[in-house]
Amino acid sequence: MLDTAPAVRRAPGRRTSGRARPRRRPRFGPYLLIAPTVVVIAVLMFWPMVQIGIMSFQKVGNRQLRGEPAETVGTENFDKIFNDPFFWQTLRHTVLFAVVAVSLTLVVGTLVGLLLNKLGKRMSSFVAGGVMVAWATPPVTAAIIFSWLFGTTGGLVNWCLDLLPDFLVGGGWSDYNWFATPLSTYTVLTVCVVWQACPFVAVSVLAGLKSVPGELYEAARVDGSGPWRTFWSLTYPMLKPIFLVLVVMSIIWDFKVFTQLFIMAGMANRDAFNLSLYGYSEAFGSLNPKLGMGSAIALVLTLILLVVTALYVRVMVRQGETR
Amino acid sequence: MRRLPRKLLLNGTGLLVFLVAVFPVFWMASTAFKPNTEIFSTTPKPLPSHPTLEHFDLVLNGGIAEVSFWEYFRNSAILALVTVLASGLLSLMAAIAVARFRFRFRTTFLIMLLVVQMVPCEALVIPLFLDLKQLDLLNSLAGLVIVYIGFAVPFAIWMLRGFVAAVPRELEEAAAIDGAGPIRTFFRVMLPLVAPGLVATSIFSFITAWNEFIFAFTFLDDQTKYTLPIMLQFFFGRSGNAWGPIMAASTLLTIPVIAFFLIVQRRMVSGLTAGAVKG
């Protein structure tokens, strides 16, 4: 069905004939080739997904971990969660952080991508290489580096803020603790996550810009179109499919951010939890594990992301990516 | 006449972006070589005035945990290598199926690959913990590596299928006409031509396993089984602000990844944007 849908543009090298040539190979060849992957995905992703659904309606604690059967408790887990102001607070943190981080990532990343496109060949690959370093840094390391940069003793950021004149930023920065309140913790987290995520956006935008014919920009310039207008009436429409993918991926990454926040806030700092951390902490964070509660929270997170994913898959199918 | 300043401005901005991007990593490495007096001085300097290897010495020679650093390094390396080999094999098979054959459920399979890339592992860690517990695979590298393979394969297939599709069919047909069977054709034609793509994909899988935190943190109990990121987090949580050794350990964890990453960055991008960019 979809196989005959016309692709938007075709990648070179990808065969476009919709018909396979007759082969002497047995008909089940491709099924054998994908079988191991299908098994792996079924066992490691689909089945656990189903389990999350089942466990959300169960009580799974220490006794179950010792081998007793789980007891079904109906919607008790969800009743508890939805009636708990703490859940709504973590959801608020999750959504607000995603909105801020995704917007910043896309704006800064796009600007860097545009810059890379304007630079000369050698300078462009030099800067791109530098930007890649941020992307390659392991999340654990990134979170620790930013904890150090924003640290109280010897932290570079507080030292810089102290140097700035007081009427700009206020005084007394030298012993300011960035990890004392959720807001300031999330500020550091945002800087860290945006720093890591921008390169992906920048490089994707750059790759997209390379595919836009130069004559179009030439024409825009001749017509006296400024950079702002050129971007919105030429670049953006041309790169719309890329931006869609980037928005979806960024939303998903930032919605479930775990490692960096775990390092910065830790399990003890409940005030700074987001959904990921809250679900994890219910399931594993204490001597009294509540895997059912954790699953219910994880299910809420997964369902939100599923909606976003459905949108993404639709775009990919429309672009002929699954041909 | 007006072109020179504009070029200067562009290159200046480029340089600024470069500096901002690499600064945190530079600061990490620089701190790792500073003696404690410089780390906690009231006027931080970009480079150490009296570089020292004491922090690296402490990390490598067992001053930070009950187990030697090399033990963690070995665990991380084993996990990453097994992940690379297994996911390389599985994804090459599937990529050939997808790029070379038309079959029923092909589109379904591709959509499934897209969907599972979006599955939050932060949620799956709860049921997978129970499953591994039942299989008695908790607290073992074997259990962890199975999970890593599952999470590396979908993206690897997505990345490899373009490389497989780019191998000209005519070459395979020529080999077949010369009387080579499918197995021989694969080793003589497909494998050599798809090798660069396989390398790029492998490095990506390597990094996925090397950097992974949440599963390793949840599944592993014994210090002897910890991976490098877990060791780093553990040490960071315990030592408050011994920034010197923490940054030395971070540097040791990060350098191999960055080196690998820079090798394959271009291919990685085309794989990641999954052909949204066609060119």
Average pLDDT on B186-191 reads 88
In a domain, A160, yes or no: yes
What is the distance between the alpha carbons of residues A176 and B228, in angstroms, rounded to a whole number? 31
The distance of A82 to chain B (nearest Cα, Å) reads 18
Domain borders along chain B are: 85-271
Q: Please tell me the predicted confidence (pLDDT) of residue A178.
A: 94
CB contact under 8 A, B127 and A55: yes
Confirm or reject contact between A6 and chain B (CB < 8 A). no
Q: Check whether B43 has a pLDDT greater than 80.
A: yes
CATH number at residue A256: 1.10.3720.10
Q: Please tell me the predicted confidence (pLDDT) of residue A15.
A: 44
The beta-carbon neighbor of B14 closest among A52, A115, A138 is A115
Residue of B nearest to A14 (CA): B165
How many CB atoms within 10 Å of residue B9?
A: 10
The distance of B71 to chain A (nearest Cα, Å) reads 19
Residue with the two structure tokens 């390092």: A263
Tens digits of residue pLDDT in A261-270? 999 998 888 9
Give the gyration radius of chain A's Cα atoms: 25
What is the distance between the alpha carbons of residues B247 and B31, in angstroms, rounded to a whole number? 6
In a domain, A133, yes or no: yes
CB contact under 8 A, A279 and B126: yes
The beta-carbon neighbor of B277 closest among A36, A211, A317 is A211
Structure tokens at A215: 């004559």
What single-letter DSSP state applies at residue A72? E
DSSP H helices, chain B, are 3-32, 36-39, 54-60, 69-100, 106-117, 121-134, 141-166, 169-177, 182-185, 191-211, 214-219, 228-239, 243-272
Q: What is the mean pLDDT of chain B?
A: 88
Tens digits of residue pLDDT in B11-25? 999 999 999 999 999
What is the distance between the alpha carbons of residues B113 and A51, in angstroms, rounded to a whole number? 20
| 3-class DSSP state of A7 | coil
What is the distance between the alpha carbons of residues A143 and B233, in angstroms, rounded to a whole number? 10
Q: Which residues, 6 or more positions from A84, have their beta carbon under 8 angstroms from its beta carbon?
A: none
Residue B237 amino acid letter: G
Q: Please tell me the predicted confidence (pLDDT) of residue A153.
A: 79
**Contact of A231 with A243, CB cutoff 8 Å:** no
The distance of A134 to chain B (nearest Cα, Å) reads 6
- Residue B125: name the closest of B212, B251, B228 by CA: B212
The beta-carbon neighbor of B258 closest among A112, A137, A255 is A137
What is the distance between the alpha carbons of residues B248 and B30, in angstroms, rounded to a whole number? 9
What is the distance between the alpha carbons of residues B209 and B214, in angstroms, rounded to a whole number? 11
- Residue A257: name the closest of A145, A98, A109, A106 by CA: A98
What is the distance between the alpha carbons of residues B87 and B109, in angstroms, rounded to a whole number? 17
In a domain, A123, yes or no: yes
- Residue B165: name the closest of A52, A263, A12 by CA: A12
The beta-carbon neighbor of A34 closest among B39, B94, B276 is B94
Residue A275, CB-side half-sphere exposure with 13 Å CA sphere: 29
What CATH code is assigned to B85-271? 1.10.3720.10
Instruction: Provide the β-strand partners of residue A317.
Output: none
Residues from chain B contacting residue A25 (CB–CB below 8 Å) = 182
Q: What is the pLDDT along chain A (323 residues), one digit of tens a residue?
A: 333 333 333 344 444 444 445 454 556 789 999 999 999 999 999 999 999 999 999 999 988 888 888 889 999 999 999 999 999 999 999 999 999 999 999 999 999 999 999 998 889 889 998 998 998 899 999 999 999 999 987 889 999 998 888 777 777 788 899 999 999 999 999 999 999 999 989 988 998 898 888 888 889 989 888 888 989 988 898 888 889 889 998 999 999 999 999 999 988 889 999 999 999 999 998 899 999 999 999 999 999 998 888 888 888 888 777 77
Structure tokens at A245: 């993918």
Structure tokens at B255: 């350098």
In a domain, A38, yes or no: no
What is the distance between the alpha carbons of residues A301 and B150, in angstroms, rounded to a whole number? 21
> Cα dihedral angle (A269, A274, A278, A284), rounded to 10 degrees?
-80
What single-letter DSSP state applies at residue B137? -
Residue of B nearest to A260 (CA): B213
CB pairs under 8 A between A and B: 324
Q: How far is CA A287 from CA A282, A284, B138, B197, in A?
A: 10, 8, 18, 46
Structure tokens at B95: 């990529």
Number of domains in chain A: 1
Q: Please tell me the predicted confidence (pLDDT) of residue A3.
A: 37
Q: Which domain holds residue A264?
A: 62-321
Tens digits of residue pLDDT in B63-114? 667 788 899 999 999 999 999 999 999 999 999 999 988 888 999 999 999 8
Structure tokens at A121: 């060949």
CB contact under 8 A, B278 and A9: yes
Q: Please tell me the predicted confidence (pLDDT) of residue B163.
A: 87
